[in-house]
Amino acid sequence: MNTTERRLIDLGERLDWPETADLTKAVQDRVSAPRPTHRPQRRLSWAVAAAMIVAISFLASLAPVRQAAAGLLGILGIRIEQTGPIVDGLGFDLDLGAAVTLEEAQAMVDFPLRRPDNLPPPDVIYLDPGKAIVSMVWSANDDLPDVGDTGVGLILTQFRGDSGGFVKQAPPDATVIEATVGDDPGFWIEGGPHALTYVDAAGEVQSDTTRLAGNVLIWPHLGVSHRLESMLDLGASAVIAESLSVP
Amino acid sequence: MKRFANPEGRPLDDRALIRAAKAGSTDAYGQLVQQHQALAQRVAYLVVGDASEAEDLAQEAFVKAFRALDRFDESKPFTPWLCTIVRNEARNRRRRFGRQAGLQSRLAFDRALAAIVPTPEAAAIEAEQREQLWTAISHLPPGQRAVIQLRYLAGLSEAETAATLGIPPGTVKSRAARALDSLGTALEAAT
């Protein structure tokens, strides 16, 4: 054990951790109580649901009402509950939202989610409920090199919005070139994390940052912005990008 | 609460308690909660940095874990499974509260650091070194930071850390090695 390890253990032992609360009775009471029966889910038309998502996205972008907006999501009759370790930790620290199933993610966005045909299904799917952004995450493997120390090989993000001309605050040493995916014009950014802005479905300007210090291909398709982050080069990224289809 | 014990009077291990809980015993589950609640609250605290938030999160995680017990693989240890649920809960909560939680986390750790009472002769140096170490941890890449927090601050084993984060033990080892290098360099630069 080296000095740094000893100092870390010392730090852990000497931190003033909060006193452990005895949760036994509270947990027992809750698991003993009959679970509330689920109300029949309200069926909303896609138009209404989309409008609500847009409204919620806008509200959620305002910090003071962020918590209230999160509560509003229940109105849609969609309850996202993680009842087990459905997340294996992959991408957990990348600030992508809550882990959901593809069906749950699809129910929360007003556009068809697409997946690459030339990759297996994603290992984890995250939904940022505030901005209605869906991120599909694949773990690193021989074909998808680990990006930094994240264990992530590739992230595909999809969100409603006009991302034309959105690249902003790219680091000075980053390479930003125009690229095409099929017939869609996009950008290829190589050389570091960057921030971007885009106009969401409500016409609001949103900002976001890339999650990995890898290479990024960004392109819009039928009003949906796509962002593919990985360590792959432009050619390999474009092959994946062009294989997207609705599963 | 009924206490579950083996014929020699020793408390039942996790696996036996889980089996009893699956069969409907809330007493067995209560015993499991008692055995793991300190760790659960610490792991939550590492993410959200607020004691009462951590308590709520741990409680919620235990309830969700109970409801998911049927899906728990009894051939695997309970601790990492629980820690994963706690971190998911904490992570989602932090997401909902946004940057404020990060700030609270930082302030909570500042308070926690300030509360450490070192030996008088080394007080100033030790306090400064711990602050430097904490700052250096906060600047690590997320994957490395999670390993350091779970492995060294929460005290999980290498295998438990790997299972909690869903990564191979070799990755825990390599991330820890890189993190230790970075922390060592940062501390050297600070002195």
Report the pLDDT value the prediction gives residue A237, as an integer from 0 to 100.
Answer: 92
Q: Does the beta-carbon distance from B133 to A8 stay under 8 Å? A: yes
Nearest C-alpha in B relative to A126 = B92
Cα–Cα distances in angstroms (integers) from residue B28 to residues A21, A28, A115, A162, in the given order: 19, 10, 44, 54
Q: Is B160 near chain A, with CB under 8 Å?
A: no
B152 alpha-carbon distance from chain centroid: 10
- In this prediction, residues A163-168 reach a mean pLDDT of 45
Q: Take residue A213 and report the two structure tokens written for it.
A: 């210090």
Best mutation target among A10, A23, A35, A104 (most B Cβ atoms within 10 Å) is: A23
Report the pLDDT value the prediction gives residue A240, as an integer from 0 to 100.
Answer: 93
Q: What are phi and psi of A136, to 5 degrees?
A: -100, 135
Least CB–CB distance from B63: residue in A16, A22, A31: A31
- Residues in B 12-31 with any Cβ partner in A closer than 8 A: 26-27, 29-30
- In this prediction, residues B54-65 reach a mean pLDDT of 92
Residues 6+ apart with CB under 8 A from B71: A84
Q: Does residue A55 register a pLDDT over 50?
A: no
Burial class from Cβ neighbours inside 10 Å (0-12, 13-18, 19+) for residue A29 reads exposed
Report the pLDDT value the prediction gives residue A209, as an integer from 0 to 100.
Answer: 56
Q: What is the pLDDT of residues A124-140, one digit of tens each?
A: 898 887 777 899 999 88
SS3 (DSSP) at A56: helix
Q: Does the beta-carbon distance from A18 to B146 stay under 8 Å? A: no
Report the pLDDT value the prediction gives residue A71, as an integer from 0 to 100.
Answer: 28
Q: Per-residue b/e over B11-48, b at no fewer than 16 CB within 10 Å?
A: ebebebbbebbeeebbbbbbbbbbbbbebbbbbbbbbb
- Percentage of chain B beyond pLDDT 90 is 27
Q: Is there a contact between B12 and B6 (Cβ–Cβ < 8 Å)?
A: yes
| Rounded-to-integer distance, Cα A176 and Cα A165, Å | 12
Q: Does the beta-carbon distance from B68 to A92 stay under 8 Å? A: no
Q: Does the beta-carbon distance from A27 to B184 stay under 8 Å? A: no
Q: Does the beta-carbon distance from A25 to B30 stay under 8 Å? A: yes
Average of per-residue pLDDT values in chain A: 69
Report the pLDDT value the prediction gives residue A83, as an integer from 0 to 100.
Answer: 30
CA atoms within 13 A on the CB side of B126: 17
Q: Is B186 near chain A, with CB under 8 Å?
A: no
Least confident residue range of A78-82, B41-45, B180-184: A78-82
Q: How far is B161 from chain A (nearest CA, A)?
A: 10
Report the pLDDT value the prediction gives residue B143, as an integer from 0 to 100.
Answer: 81
DSSP chain B: -PPPB-TTSPBPPHHHHHHHHHTT-HHHHHHHHHHHHHHHHHHHHHHH--HHHHHHHHHHHHHHHHHTGGG--TTS-HHHHHHHHHHHHHHHHHHHHTHHHHHHHHHHHHHHHHT----GGGHHHHHHHHHHHHHHHHTS-HHHHHHHIIIIIS---HHHHHHHHTS-HHHHHHHHHHHHHHHHHHHHHH-
Q: Does residue A208 register a pLDDT over 90?
A: no
Number of A/B CB contacts below 8 angstroms equals 170
**Kind and range of the H or E element at A199?**
strand A195-200
- Among B47, B93, B61, B44, CA closest to A70: B93
Q: Does the beta-carbon distance from B64 to A84 stay under 8 Å? A: yes
Q: Does residue B106 register a pLDDT over 80?
A: no
Report the pLDDT value the prediction gives residue B7, as an integer from 0 to 100.
Answer: 59
Q: How far is B33 from chain A (nearest CA, A)?
A: 6
Report the pLDDT value the prediction gives residue B125, as an integer from 0 to 100.
Answer: 66
DSSP A89-129: STTGGG---EEE-HHHHHHHSSS---EETTSPPPSEEEEET
* Higher pLDDT, residue A64 or B157: B157
Report the pLDDT value the prediction gives residue A35, as an integer from 0 to 100.
Answer: 57
Q: Is B88 near chain A, with CB under 8 Å?
A: yes
Confidence band, pLDDT 50/70/90 cuts, at residue B32: very high
Q: Does residue A187 register a pLDDT over 50?
A: yes
- In this prediction, residues A100-115 reach a mean pLDDT of 88
Q: Is B62 near chain A, with CB under 8 Å?
A: yes
A128 contacts on B by Cβ (under 8 Å): 95
Q: What is the pLDDT of residues A1-16, one digit of tens each?
A: 788 898 888 888 877 7
Q: Does residue A226 register a pLDDT over 60?
A: yes
Least confident residue range of A42-46, A128-132, A214-218: A42-46
Q: Does residue B144 register a pLDDT over 90?
A: no
Least CB–CB distance from A28: residue in B29, B133, B167: B29
Q: Take residue B144 and report the two structure tokens written for it.
A: 């490395």
Q: Does the beta-carbon distance from A149 to B175 stay under 8 Å? A: yes
Best mutation target among B2, B55, B99 (most A Cβ atoms within 10 Å) is: B55
| Rounded-to-integer distance, Cα A108 and Cα A114, Å | 14
pTM of the model: 0.52
Give the pairing of strands A152-162 and A195-200: antiparallel
